[in-house]
């Protein structure tokens, strides 16, 4: 019980630091705010902040990471890599799967979009995650196709996320945006598993 309480407190501290940082970055600009100012506003020591976020960009970018390699590596016995990824993203789109802080999401997008350094960080993060996914797929037995498959999976997931964000930004209710995301997750993984032939019948 005590261990669970400690974990909850750690998560609350992490969330508070992240929320304070995003607010300050949104108000004043990413480059204009120091880590010391974030720590002071969040009510923690600088060393505590770095225990949760090893660098300034992690305050923003940690939340955009999605460890697809870990999903593949940790899949159930007998489950395919694509099956594990489909199940993960299907679960994220299900109603009640987790609260989405729409305002916080838009704030994060604004902060990233206004900072060349953060945009570059997103690109580097995506590249690293794609290479890690390729390695996990190769380990799972996809051989020479691993890099190409990782690139296709990454592109599909990015497109799903962009469509979801766009709908929210144009006023589509969260529940409806989530329902459409769920449909598109299935379509995306059908395409990844079976190619264009999987939708030819639907389009005719």
Domain spans, the chain: 2-60, 65-196
Cα dihedral sign for 165, 170, 175, 178?
A: negative
CA distance 42 to 33: 13
CB atoms closer than 10 angstroms to residue 82: 19
How far is residue 163's CA from residue 169's CA, in Å, rounded to a whole number? 10
Of all residues in the chain, what percent carry a pLDDT higher than 90?
A: 80
Q: Does pLDDT of 178 surpass 70? A: yes
Closest by CA to 64, choosing from 98, 29, 104, is 104
pLDDT at position 132, please?
97
pTM of the model: 0.85
Q: Which DSSP letter does residue 171 get? A: T
CA 82 – CA 89 distance, rounded (Å): 11
What pLDDT does 2 receive?
62
Model confidence pLDDT, tens digit, residues 81-138: 999 999 999 998 887 655 678 898 899 999 999 999 999 999 999 999 999 999 999 9
pLDDT score at 187: 95
Average pLDDT over residues 168-193: 94
CA distance 182 to 175: 11
Task: Report the range of poorest mean pLDDT among 47-51, 67-71, 164-168, 195-199.
Answer: 195-199
In CATH terms, the fold of domain 2-60 is Arc Repressor Mutant, subunit A (1.10.10)
Instruction: Give the pLDDT band (50/70/90) at residue 196.
Output: confident
């Amino acid at each position: 019980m005590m261990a669970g309480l400690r974990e909850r407190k750690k998560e609350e501290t992490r969330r508070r630091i992240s929320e304070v940082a995003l607010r300050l970055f949104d108000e004043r600009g990413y480059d204009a705010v120091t880590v010391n100012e974030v720590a002071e506003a969040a009510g923690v020591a600088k060393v505590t902040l770095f225990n949760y976020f090893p660098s300034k960009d992690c305050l923003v970018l940690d939340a955009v990471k999605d460890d697809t390699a870990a999903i593949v590596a940790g899949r159930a016995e007998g489950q395919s890599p694509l099956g594990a990824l489909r199940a993960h993203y299907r679960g994220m789109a299900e109603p009640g799967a987790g609260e989405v802080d729409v305002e916080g999401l838009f704030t994060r997008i604004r902060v990233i979009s206004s900072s060349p350094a953060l945009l570059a960080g997103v690109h580097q993060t995506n590249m690293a995650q794609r290479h890690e996914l390729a390695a996990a797929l190769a380990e799972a037995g996809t051989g020479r196709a691993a890099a190409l498959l990782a690139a296709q999976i990454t592109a599909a997931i990015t497109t799903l996320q962009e469509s979801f964000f766009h709908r929210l930004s144009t006023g589509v209710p969260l529940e409806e945006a989530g329902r459409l995301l769920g449909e598109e997750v299935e379509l995306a993984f059908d395409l990844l598993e079976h190619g264009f032939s999987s939708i030819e019948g639907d389009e005719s």
